[in-house]
Amino acid sequence: MNTIKILCVMLMCTLVLGCLSQQTHERAIEELELTNETSAQEVERLQQVAQEREAAVVQLQEANKDLEAEIDVQEQVKERNLNGYKQELRELYSQVNDLVSVSGAKPVNLSGFEGDEVDFDDIGQAFRNIRSTLASQIDEFSQLRSQNDQLEEALQKLEARLRNVERLKKELELVRADREKQEAKLATVRHEVQTVGREIDRITKALEDKFGKSLVVTQHQDRLVLTMLGQILFKSGQAQLTPLGLDIMKQVGEVLATLPNKNVQVEGHTDNNPIYGRLQQQYPTNWELSTARATTVLRFLIEQTGMNPQDFSAAGYAETRPAVENSSAEGRAQNRRVEIVLYPERVTPNNKTVATLTQ
């Protein structure tokens, strides 16, 4: 009985479990179907993703090809740039060494840049070294240029002084040559003056023997002075030669005509007594009277002797050049005079200015 109960219980349990198991199985099937459906969707999605990734891979491959080509181009450009930079470096080093050789500094080496592989860091450092070296050389060249400018300025001053010295030498040679000519001419004139002086002494003695102290001849360095008292030549207050004055001047003119290479100046002198009365209408002062008397003698000598007028000149000095003091009648009589001054042939001076050498 108990066994039957147990079997019944077991049978019931089996039925219950079977029912439960059927439900579970059905749910499992449903879940499996759902999972399959989801898996199919996931597979479809994964297939779509795989297709998209394949397309992306194709694009990446194409992009990679383009990138590789671009990298090749960049490498070529980089290589060309590197070669250009290396060449530029060599040229810069060469220029720097040329500049250094001028200043006498130590040459710059091109070590480290002769290999095939040169990166931009080395190139940049090389350029920085070159800039530093160039900056140093530029500073040194600036100092050298300043010294050179000073030397150039000093050289220009020296050249100017040398040109000035050469010019002075030429001018001194001209002056020396001119002076030698003048000295030779003066020697000739001195000889002529001495010769003329002896002749005048002879003639003067004859004139003094005839006219007494009315005519006095004196020599002052290179000129001769014939002094004639005014009262012998002219009447008081007049400028017309007296008969005795005409005779004296005629003989004086004959003597002067025989003298070679002469220049004659006739000078009129008076005492310090002023002109008064009616004479003032014709000769307001002693200036006019002294000048008129000198001009009268000059005209007589030229007209009577036929000498060249260019050899003559006349001057009136009034009472400004007395021979003696005017304190006495005798002194005033000696101051009223006419002087004929004989100069040697006029020597035209050379007015060249000789420059001085300045520091």
pLDDT at 114: 47
| 34 phi, psi to nearest 5 deg | -65, -40
Letter for the amino acid at 341? V
pLDDT digits (tens, 9 = 90+) for 195-247: 666 766 666 666 666 666 667 888 777 678 888 888 888 888 888 999 888 88
Helix/strand/coil percentages in the chain, nearest 5: 70, 10, 20
- DSSP notation for 284-350: SSHHHHHHHHHHHHHHHHHHHH---GGGEEEEE-TTSS-SS-SSSHHHHHHHSEEEEEEEESPPPP-
pLDDT digits (tens, 9 = 90+) for 281-301: 899 999 999 999 999 999 999
Residues 23, 14: Cα–Cα separation, whole Å: 14
| 94 phi, psi to nearest 5 deg | -65, -45
Structure-derived torsion over alpha carbons of residues 127, 131, 134, 139, reported in degrees to the nearest 10: -170
Domain 189-344, CATH class in plain words = alpha beta
The DSSP bridge partners found for residue 262 are: 344
**316 pLDDT exceeds 90?**
yes
Q: Tokens 């005798």 — which residue? A: 330
pLDDT at 24: 73
**101 pLDDT exceeds 70?**
no
Q: Tokens 């349990």 — which residue? A: 13
More confident residue, 272 or 100: 272
Strand order in the sheet with 215-220: 215-220, 223-229, 337-344, 262-269, 312-316
Letter for the amino acid at 170? K
Contact between 229 and 333 (Cβ < 8 Å): yes
pLDDT at 206: 62
Residues 258, 17: Cα–Cα separation, whole Å: 193
pLDDT at 358: 35
Mean per-residue pLDDT for 39-43? 79
Q: How are beta strands 312-316 and 262-269 bridged, if at all?
A: parallel
More confident residue, 175 or 35: 175
Contact between 328 and 272 (Cβ < 8 Å): no
Cβ-count burial 262-271 (b if 16+ within 10 Å, e if not): bebbbbbbbb
Residue 165's alpha-carbon distances to 157, 162, 170, 318, 357, in angstroms, are: 12, 5, 9, 51, 7
- What number of other Cβ atoms are within 10 A of residue 341's Cβ? 17
From the number of C-beta atoms within 10 Å of its C-beta (0-12, 13-18, 19+), residue 25 rates as: exposed
Mean pLDDT (the chain) is 77
Q: What is the pTM of this model?
A: 0.44
Letter for the amino acid at 296? T
Which residue ranges make up each domain of the chain?
Answer: 189-344
